[in-house]
Structure 1
C-alpha cells in the first residue's frame, strides 16, 4: 500500500471527524485560564474559573516564567481544590545541572504547585528512601487547561446513577478514549493511567499510579516528608481501592478502600488505527496508518486482553513495526482491587502480536518473573492536531521549522512530543517538562522509560534487558541527548552519558 494512499486515508479520517459533533472538542487548544503572582495575586483571569475547570475534569499544564532563563513548562499528574485554591502535583522531574544535563547523582524532584503562588518541593535519591531535602518557595504561575466535554457518567458514593450511563464509560474505554475522574467529595481530579472493563461489561475501573502523599498546610497542599506513593483504583460503582508504598523502597504503608461520588469524563478524540490477531495478522485498519500517526507525533493507546486500555510510555519503531513500552500498570487481584503485595506489571507490546512482560516489586530490585505471549491487540491514535514545528540535525542544524516555533508553542502551554532517529530504530517520547535556555534552545525531559534491547532473532521487536535500568533523558534542540541510568529498585548508577541524534519536534496547542 503506497504512502500517498495512506496519507490520503489519514487525511480522510481527520476530515471525517472534523465534520462530526465532537470536532470542536477535538480541535480545542490549550487555554490560559489563570495566572498568579508569587504572592498569590491574580495577574490574569479569575481563580473561580480555574477551580470550576479542574472540578469539570480539565487537563492542566503550568508554566513558570522564573524557572530557567526562558521559563519552564510542566505536565501535571493530579489536581485538588483546597480552601478556594487549586493545588497540582507535578512529579515527573529528575534534578539537573543545566537545562540539558542531569546532575551526576540526581534525585527525583516532586513539586506541588498551588494557585496561592506557593510551591513545595520534595527530593528523593533514585532507588532508595533517602531524602535529598524538602522546602517551599513562592513563584509566578500560568495555568493552562484543555477542557473535556460534560461528564458521560456521574454517580453517588454507593454507585447510584445521577446522570449518564456506565455503558458510556465502557464504550469510551473500548474506543481508546482518555478517561478522567473528578471525586466530588475531595475536589480531586486525575486522568486514568489505564482502564479495564469487567467480563460482563457492567463495571469499568481505572488505575491512577502517580500520586505522592501530601498534607494540608493552610490554603496549600505540601508533601508530608517520609513520603509514599499513593496508588488508587477508581471504579464506576463508587469503589476506590488505595495501596501505599514508600518512595524508593518496598515498604508498605497500608491499604484502604472507600466509596466516593465521582464524575467520569471521556476525551473521545481517538480513532481505531490497526487491529491484528495473535500472530500480528491484519484484522482491521492499517499498520501503515498506525506507523504514520506515530511518525507524525500522535499519541497511541493499546487495547489488550479485550478489556485493558493503556498508553505507552515509550514507542519504538523497528523494521516497520510498532513496539510500545507500558510502565503504568500495577498488579491487581481483581478488577477493583490491588494485590496485597503490589508489583509493577511492565510490558512491551508489538504489532507482531508479541507481549513481553516483566514483574518487579515496587521500590525494590526483585524480579518476580517474566512471560512472553502472543495476543490480539487493537491500536488507537489520537486525532487532535499535531504540528511538526522543528527538525534539528544531530549537530543542531535546523532542517525544517524553527526553534522559535517550538518556544512559542511552549509559551502557549502546548504538549510536546519528539522522535529520535537512530540507525536501526526510532524512539518517540512525550516531554514531561521543558525548559527554555538563555541562548534560545529547549531541553525536554522524559523520566518514564526502562532500558530495552533488540529481541534476539527478530528484525521487528524489542524487549526488556536482563538487568533493566531507568533510562532518564533530556533531549535538546542542539541534538544532544543526555542520559542518566539507574538500576530499577536500587540506588546504583549505571552510567551518565550523552550522544547526539536527529530530533523531530511535534506540538499540540
Structure 2
C-alpha cells in the first residue's frame, strides 16, 4: 500500500522537517516555553511571546546608562540566552559626615559647613546619629533649619517611646526629638490625653547630608513645568504627598505633621503640630492642631513654590494597560521591589510615595503616608480630615477618612480607579539576609552596621511563610551595644488580609508601628490615637532582607 508522505511547516530543533504518515501516530515534541524573561535590575524587558525562538528586548530605564544590544532569545533548552546589555547607574548618591558635635564643643567651621550644605543645596536629606547610654540611634530628619547663622536644628518624625533598643514601652507615648548643632537634644513625650513631658540632654551627635545627584538643580515653580516633571516621574522629595486639581491648574505638595518649637529652639510647653501645603499658585497654607485633636487655625501665606525634581524614577505600569502588557509590567514592579526599590503612585488627585509595599497573590499593594483632605483644593480648613490610602495593581483603591487625632472613622470607601505606577531608579544593595531565627543566610551584620554609621538610607523586606512579601520604609535605626540592629517603622496604615485575598483596612483604620531586628524579631504595636493599642509579635517569618542605597 502506498503511503502519502506529507510535510508540516515547523522545523525540528535540528532544522529537519518532520514527516507525517497518515494512519501512523507520531509523538510530537512538547512546546518549548522559556517562561518570563529574567529580571535585570536597571532595565525593563519587552516581549510578545515566551516560546521557542521568541525574542525579548531589554532597555535600560531612566537613571541608568546602557552598553550592549539588550537582545535575548528563547532557546530550545527552555531558557533565555544571555543578553550583553549592561545597565549602570548614572547618578550616584552619597552621605557625607559634616559635623561631629559633642556635649562640650562643636568647631565653628563645621557649623558653617553644615549651614552651607543645607542652604545651598536643593532641599537635601539630612540625618543624625546620636549616642545614648545603652544604644545609638540614626534618625531621618523631617524638618530642619538655621537660626542666627550657626545654630542648626533638626526634628525627627513622630515615633513611639521604647522600653529598650528593640521593644516598645507597655503603654507607649508619642515621641518627638529635636537636635541642635551645639550637641544638645530635646525630647518631648506625650500621652493620648495631651500631657507632655519635655527633657533636654547633651549628646554626641553626628550630622550627615546627602549628596543626591538625582535631584535636579531646577527650581521651576510654574504649574506647567511641575506637571511635566511629574508626568515623567520627577517628584520633589521634600513633600510626602502631592495633589493636582481637576483642571490641572494647580499642583500642591503636603508635608506631614511637624511639632511647634520656639525661637530658642525648644518645644513649646503646650505644643501643637502643623501641616504645610505649598502650591504652584503661589499660596502656602498652614493647618494647626493641638496634639489632643483641638483645631487651632489655618494660615494662608503667599510664597514662591520651589520645585526640586528627583530624576531617578521611571514609569512602569498603569491600570489601563492591555492584559498582555499588564502581566509583564506588574512582574517588573514585583522584581524591582524585591531588589530594594520603592514605588510612587498617582491615583486621582493624589500622588504619593509608598510607605509599605506588599507583594501577594500576583499583585502589588501599597499603603501611602497619611495626608489631609480635601486633596483637590489648595486650601485647608477647620473641617479638614485625615486620610489613609491603599492601592493595588488590580485596580482597587481603598481610602479611610477619619477625624483628626481621633479613633472616629468617617468613611471607608473602595473604588476602581485608574492609577499610574513609578519605580525608584536608584541602586540598592542587599547587604544582609537572615532567617526568621536570626541565622545569617548571606551578607554580614558588620557590613550593614558600617553602612548605617555612614548615614545611608535603609529598606527592609520581610518574606512570610504564606508567601507574602513586605517591603518597608525605615524611619530610624537603633544599634545596641553588642552590635545588633533594630529598625523602626513609624505609623504605617494597618493593612489586613480580607475576603478574596484582598488587602484592606481594619474597621477602625488602626495605625501600626514596627520594630524589626537583626536577631530575627518582628514586633508590632497596633493602635488608634485616643483609644490605646496592643502589642504583637509577627510569626511565620521566613527571612528578612536588609537593603542599603548605594
- Map of 1:6 onto structure 2: 39
Match of 1:485 among 519, 522, 526: 526
C-alpha contact (below 8 Å) 2:427/2:549 kept by paired residues: yes
- Map of 2:449 onto structure 1: 407
Instruction: For residue 68 of structure 1, report the CA deviation from its aligned partner.
Output: 5.7
Matches for 1:453-468 after TM superposition, within 5 Å? 453-456=496-499, 458-459=500-501, 461-468=502-509
Instruction: For residue 481 of structure 1, report the CA deviation from its aligned partner.
Output: 1.0
* CA RMSD, 1 decimal: 2.6
Instruction: For residue 480 of structure 1, report the CA deviation from its aligned partner.
Output: 0.5
- Map of 2:118 onto structure 1: 54
Distance 1:500 1:64, change over 3 A: farther
C-alpha contact (below 8 Å) 1:471/1:485 kept by paired residues: yes
C-alpha contact (below 8 Å) 1:242/1:257 kept by paired residues: yes
**Deviations for 1:365-392, whole angstroms, at most 9, x for unmatched residues?**
1111121100111111111110000001
Match of 2:275 among 228, 231, 245: 231
SS at match of 1:468: coil
- Provide TM-score, normalisation by structure 2: 0.81
State the distance in 2 between where 1:92 and 1:25 align.
34
Distance 1:2 1:227, change over 3 A: farther
**Does structure 1 residue 320 correspond to structure 2 residue 362?**
yes
Match of 1:210 among 257, 265, 285: 257
Question: Highest relative contact order (Cα 8 Å, sep 6+), 1 or 2?
Answer: 1
C-alpha contact (below 8 Å) 2:123/2:308 kept by paired residues: no
- Map of 1:42 onto structure 2: 107
SS at match of 1:358: strand
**Deviations for 1:186-224, whole angstroms, at most 9, x for unmatched residues?**
xxxxx111112334434321111221111111xxx2211
Match of 1:422 among 464, 477, 481: 464
Distance 1:282 1:465, change over 3 A: farther
Instruction: For residue 397 of structure 1, report the CA deviation from its aligned partner.
Output: 0.3
**Greater Cα shift, 65-74 or 365-374:** 65-74
Distance 1:402 1:365, change over 3 A: same
Instruction: For residue 39 of structure 1, report the CA deviation from its aligned partner.
Output: 3.5
Instruction: For residue 150 of structure 1, report the CA deviation from its aligned partner.
Output: 5.1
SS at match of 1:46: helix
Matches for 1:164-243 after TM superposition, within 5 Å? 165-180=222-237, 191-217=238-264, 221-243=265-287
- Map of 1:160 onto structure 2: none
Instruction: For residue 414 of structure 1, report the CA deviation from its aligned partner.
Output: 0.7
Deviating above 6 A after TM superposition, structure 1's stretches of 4 or more consecutive aligned residues are: 278-281
C-alpha contact (below 8 Å) 1:274/1:284 kept by paired residues: no
How many residue pairs get aligned? The number is 477
**Deviations for 1:6-42, whole angstroms, at most 9, x for unmatched residues?**
327449555763339xx98731212222322223412
- Structure exhibiting the larger radius of gyration computed from Cα positions: 2
- Map of 1:188 onto structure 2: none
Structure 2, unpaired ranges of 5+: 1-33, 46-57, 67-87
State the distance in 1 between where 2:216 and 2:356 align.
30
State the distance in 1 between where 2:106 and 2:249 align.
47
- Map of 1:332 onto structure 2: 374
**Does structure 1 residue 504 correspond to structure 2 residue 534?**
no
Distance 1:399 1:283, change over 3 A: closer
- Provide TM-score, normalisation by structure 1: 0.87
**Does structure 1 residue 290 correspond to structure 2 residue 330?**
no
Distance 1:234 1:58, change over 3 A: closer
Instruction: For residue 70 of structure 1, report the CA deviation from its aligned partner.
Output: 5.7
State the distance in 1 between where 2:141 and 2:90 align.
20
Structure 1, unpaired ranges of 5+: 156-164, 181-190
C-alpha contact (below 8 Å) 1:152/1:169 kept by paired residues: no
State the distance in 1 between where 2:302 and 2:136 align.
41
Instruction: For residue 344 of structure 1, report the CA deviation from its aligned partner.
Output: 1.3
Distance 1:13 1:448, change over 3 A: farther
